[in-house]
Every structure is written in C-alpha cells, then in structure tokens.
Structure 1
Amino acid sequence: MKNNRARQFLPFNGLRGFTEQLKKQEEHFEEELPLTDDEAESLNHIVPRLTRGSLIHIRYYHLNQYKTLQGYLQGIDTVHQILHLCGQSISFSHIKSIQLCSNKENCQ
C-alpha cells in the first residue's frame, strides 16, 4: 500500500523518449558545405545525362545531415529543380554528388 501511495508523486513523463530523440538530433548535426568546383563540374556533367529509370547513387543534405540513397530515378522536375528518387523529392541545391550506375553491384 505504501509503495502505491509513493507512486502517485512520481513525475509524469507524457512524452516518453522525446528528450532522447532531441539529444540524438543534436549529435548528428552537420553543417551543409558548399560544393567544390570539382563537385559542381561533376554534377553539371551528370545531371543532363539522367533519365527516368536511371540507377543512381546520390549523396544529399537533409534535416541537418548528409544522407545517401541508391535507387532508380523516378523523375526530374527541371522547372522546380527537384529530383524524385525512391519516393523522396531532393532539391538540386542540396545534392552533393551523384553516381550513375550500370548495375547494383558497382553502385556505391
């Protein structure tokens, strides 16, 4: 009985795990770096060669960190400068690198 009475005075945590998630986000913060001349030249060479269905490996900046994604290109919106890949929309301005792949084995 005494144990149950003490329990009512414990602090209530309605957002269980929220503090841990915030700390996790802070740990993975990366600053977005501008493209080097070589990276910009590489993108300028590869982007015009991309077509729907191309297998690509892409590195891009999203939510304070760099991410990589591999898959078949679903489309390119040149008006809004957005690339559609694996159900995600990636702005050209956040792309760090793109690699065209001939098959999944040589795509890294």
Structure 2
Amino acid sequence: MHSSTAHSSETAYQRIRRKELSLRVARRGEHHARPHPNRARQFLPFAALKGFSETAHLKEVIPEKQCELTPAEAVILSHRVSTLRRGDTVLVQFFEADSHRQTVDTVLWVDLAAKILRLKNMTLAFEQITAIILKN
C-alpha cells in the first residue's frame, strides 16, 4: 500500500511539472539553446599576469649579430632587388631586433633612392635584408 501511495504522488508531481512546463512554453515560447561564441574560453588556462609569457619568451631568445654580406652576395642581392616588381611574391630573409627572421609577402614597391623595400605587411631597409627569393 505504501508503494502505491508513493507511485501515485510521484505521478502527481510529474503531472504538475508537465503542466507548469506547458504554461511556461505557452507564455514564453519554446526554449532553443543558443551556443555562446566564447563558451570554450572557460577551458583556457588562466593567465594571472597578462603578457608575462610573451615577455619571458623574448628573454629566452639569444641575441645575434647581423652577418655582413660578402661582395658576391651583395651583388646578387642588389640584382634581385632591382628586378622586383609590384605584386611579386617573395621570401625575404632579414635581420630585425637582434635576430634573423624571414617572411613570405607581396611586394608593393621598391624605392632604390631611399633603399627601402615596401611589402604588404612590412617595410624593410635594404641593409636589413640578407636574402630574397622570388616565389612566383
């Protein structure tokens, strides 16, 4: 007898919840879950000191000295710079901030008088450049 009473009260509870739910749907409409654009951010590691890891990484980089080009390398580089045209895709190796770097970018213009190579994403002085390879 006790189990049937528990069963009937459980069913009554379910009926009440269904009725409340149907009233809420009638009032507010159906609920549709909307994904939050930054939902996954909660799983990212916490950075107590903003920018600390970038600064620490810069300290790990061992400063280098700029290598001087040999006269033969300088002639080859000068010839390549003079043949560059707007829209050329190039791999440029250069020296910046105590380290040798490289980038693949598009040539916007070459200023032979000012000795500047203007790429889509950066501007380089000729003395920074150590090598240029035409990619297209």
Give the alignment's TM-score, normalised by structure 1: 0.68
Give runs of ≥4 in structure 1 deviating > 6 Å. none
Describe the SS at the equivalent of 1:83.
strand
Give the alignment's TM-score, normalised by structure 2: 0.56
Which residue of 2 is the match for residue 8 of structure 1? Answer: none
Which residue of 1 is the match for residue 78 of structure 2? Answer: 44
Residue-by-residue CA offset, 1:10-34 (whole Å, 9 max, x unaligned): xxxxxx3666544432432211111
Measured on the aligned residues, the alpha-carbon RMSD in Å equals 2.0
**Range moving further from structure 2, 17-26 or 34-43:** 17-26
Which is richer in strand?
Answer: 1
Q: Return the letter of the residue paired with 1:46.
A: R
Higher relative contact order (CA 8 A, sep 6+): 1
Q: 1:25 aligns with which of 58, 64, 89?
A: 58
Ranges in structure 2 where 5+ consecutive residues have no aligned partner: 1-48
Which is richer in helix?
Answer: 2
Ranges in structure 1 where 5+ consecutive residues have no aligned partner: 1-15, 103-108
Q: How many residues align?
A: 88
Larger Rg: 2
